[in-house]
Amino acid sequence: MPGGSNDTTPLYCGTGMDNFHTSYRNMHGYVSLVVCILGTIANTLNIIVLTRREMRSPTNAILTGLAVADLAVMLEYIPYTVHDYILKDSLPREQKLSYSWACFIKFHSIFAQVLHTISIWLTITLAVWRYIAVGYPQKNRLWCGMRTTIITITTAYVVCVLVVSPSLYLITAIAEWMDQLDAQGKMINSIPMSQYVIDYRNEMQTVMVAALNATPTSPMSNDTQWLNMTASSPSPSPSPSPSPSPTPSPISVPVVVRNVTVYRLYHSDLALHNTSLLNATFLIYSVVIKLIPCIALTILSVRLILALLEAKRRRKKLTTKPGNSNGAKSVVNGKPSERPRKNSKTLEKEKQTDRTTRMLLAVLLLFLITEFPQGIMGLLNTVLGNAFLMQCYFKLSDLMDVLALINSSINFILYCSMSKQFRSTFTLLFRPKFLDKWMPVAQDELTATRVDGLQRSVVAATPDNCHQTMTHKQPQVQQQKQQSRCLSKPPIELILSREDVGSLKRSSIVAVVDEGSGTVDHCLFVAGTLPISSSNSSST
């Protein structure tokens, strides 16, 4: 580059950024390919587990929509990283930059961004739903029911496509170029062949020459001479010229061996003549798609943490007997009394809510770690302009890509490590069938199911107390109302004896009837055959 004054182009990122970009780019293809393969497997498992009948809930519906978007991102990124990174040195230039590949790159630039935006706003929805569940539990079923959740997920998919696709489609176009290569196949020069690019360069040349002629300066500086030469000869060809010096110049000019026609994704004619459109697109990307969701998630995450702490404090207060630390009871009307404590079912339900909230908080925090830097970079690119784009943003683009891929693939690990229900369902689905004969299902795998959208409580029942709490009595429909709905959902088996318990088939739904009232107390999903001892069997 020619020398000139120091104030022409500001320096935002030094040579260290160039060194990092060069070294990481060599391994980015392999790193991203491994992440995509693992992420594809993980998101497929997420979808299989979360769509099981016993896992159906508004929260899991959002997680399923998130997994679908992440899976599509992984599948689409695999051919991109293989072609552009892993096979970049083995493909001839005309094949590496073919017209069909340019079409795929345009599709990739739009498709990946649309799906990434869908993931972002589904994460926002997840945070809002969870905050309502924790902060306003009495309104949760009304505001965040399954029907509302499905409508919200569908809206996120449709709106993101309509908002993101047109702007990205309008600012890009496939342009034809002629690359001049040397004997080693390295590019010496690239000449535009698309007419709109040629016309734009001619316009810029005219504007530049007019600006230089309008400036009353003495002899032109080196910078001015270089700009004028560049504008007037966009595709210089080497030609020897006589030198007045008796000593020939030692600088050797590379010789063009062959020309190849290639196709690149370039700014469209509309974008070249409307810089405001480009700035608006970057602003939408950095602020609407990145910064606003990150700020909203930060606020919601803080509120969720505070709500968790408040719920823990409230639960501790309700489960602690009043009086002094020695356990003395308060006296009311001359009789000892104590604060009524919550039953075990309510406490277990609240603990499950807290566990789910903690798991989703981990999902939100991981999202913030990977997305916030991208939002800041996009905003700086809009504010600081092209110099920051070339010096910093492009140099970190590969790293930002792999961080986004990791964020889209790691949720499976979070679900397995923090959700007991997810682990149990996953184990039941993918455990080899022959193990059922030798490894009876543990009692804690007798899990609740969701029938007609109603969540049933978890009952850790042994065969003995199962036998004690089941009866021939007909359920009293008026007293148990919603609970009896499970009886109309096949397959239903009403357990009458311990022999019946032992003969249950996998995935049976049973009605547990309360012995005292004769009402249906629970609807259970039986994971497998229970370990029943035949020595003490008796009919009811």
**What is the rounded distance in angstroms from the CA atom of residue 389 to the CA atom of residue 24?**
18
Residue 499 pLDDT class (50, 70, 90 cuts): very low
281-319 pLDDT per residue, tens: 878 877 878 888 888 888 888 888 887 788 778 777 776
Residue 6 pLDDT class (50, 70, 90 cuts): very low
**What is the rounded distance in angstroms from the CA atom of residue 525 to the CA atom of residue 53?**
10
Q: Of 449, 446, 450, give the one whose Cα is nearest residue 501.
A: 446
Please, are residues 375 and 296 in contact by the beta-carbon 8 Å criterion?
no
pLDDT, averaged across the chain: 72
519-528 pLDDT per residue, tens: 444 444 444 4
Res. 177: pLDDT tops 80: yes
Identify the pLDDT of residue 472. Answer: 33
Residue type, 144: C
User: Region 377-391: what's the mean pLDDT?
Assistant: 81
Higher pLDDT among residues 192 and 14, named by residue: 192
Higher pLDDT among residues 144 and 443, named by residue: 144
Residue 215 pLDDT class (50, 70, 90 cuts): low
The answer to whether the bond into 250 is cis (omega within 30° of 0) is no
**What is the rounded distance in angstroms from the CA atom of residue 240 to the CA atom of residue 394?**
37
Res. 134: pLDDT tops 60: yes
**What is the rounded distance in angstroms from the CA atom of residue 525 to the CA atom of residue 451?**
10
Res. 248: pLDDT tops 80: no
Angle between helix 58-81 and helix 15-50 axes, rounded to 10 deg: 130
Strand partners, 263: 176
Res. 455: pLDDT tops 70: no
Q: What is the CATH number of domain 15-174+276-320+346-421?
A: 1.20.1070.10
Domain boundaries, the chain: 15-174+276-320+346-421, 431-526
Identify the pLDDT of residue 250. Answer: 55
Res. 529: pLDDT tops 70: no
User: Region 159-163: what's the mean pLDDT?
Assistant: 91
Residue 343 pLDDT class (50, 70, 90 cuts): low
Residue type, 22: T
Which whole-number Å values give the CA distances from 449 to 46, 149, 458, 471, in the listed order?
Answer: 18, 19, 8, 21
Q: Of 447, 407, 454, give the one whose Cα is nearest residue 423.
A: 447
Res. 148: pLDDT tops 80: yes
Residue 195 pLDDT class (50, 70, 90 cuts): very high
Instruction: Look at strands 508-513 and 492-494 and give their pairing.
Output: parallel
Question: Residue with structure tokens 């630390």?
Answer: 325
User: Region 498-510: what's the mean pLDDT?
Assistant: 43
**What is the rounded distance in angstroms from the CA atom of residue 151 to the CA atom of residue 133?**
18
User: Region 85-114: what's the mean pLDDT?
Assistant: 92
Identify the pLDDT of residue 2. Answer: 43
Res. 431: pLDDT tops 60: yes
Rank 105-119, 253-267, 314-328 by mean pLDDT and report only the highest: 105-119
